[in-house]
Structure 1
Amino acid sequence: MGHTVYYRIHIEKWEEFRVFLAAVARGLGYHLMDRGEYVVVLPDCPLVEPLEIKKEGWGFAKTNLVEPCHSVYLLILYSISAFGSVDVWED
């Protein structure tokens, strides 16, 4: 246990990303908090931290390799490249 996903993002198309993420979260049955300046994905997986995404900056979420949440987080993060840029790494 203890696996963490780290990311650095810059989202140029913020409004489009928020609409996309809301549709994805709804389709997956995840809860999404949209705070305007940032969004938070709240999964239903135990031992998985919420995924907080800001328009620009650094972040991390402990996933503990719990599936399917770990893989979904990776898919969400890598999808940011369609709206800006993203670097993702894990430990």
Structure 2
Amino acid sequence: MSVLIATEFEIKNNSFTGNVLGAPCFRDGKLDKVSRWIDENNFDLSQASFYTDSFNDLPLLEKVKNPIIVDGDDKLREIGRSNNWECISFR
């Protein structure tokens, strides 16, 4: 894996402190981290696909060209249907 976008944790004396550095990679925090990486690497989020099973990724689903819900919960599937997003299942 060449790129990992995730919540960063503070490390002191080779141990995790339990503190988060910056915004957690959750909801808008994930959108901010992904958007920053895309800008720094000359990609276009509006041309991207994004797969998720989590309602918490709604901010990112709303920004991409191809939002795809994978085994989402009832709430997320309803939002997907109302937006005509692809919903797939591996169950």
TM-score, scaled relative to structure 1: 0.28
The structure with the larger Rg is: 2
- Structure (1 or 2) with the greater strand fraction: 1
- If asked which structure has higher relative contact order (CA below 8 Å, sep 6+), I would say 1
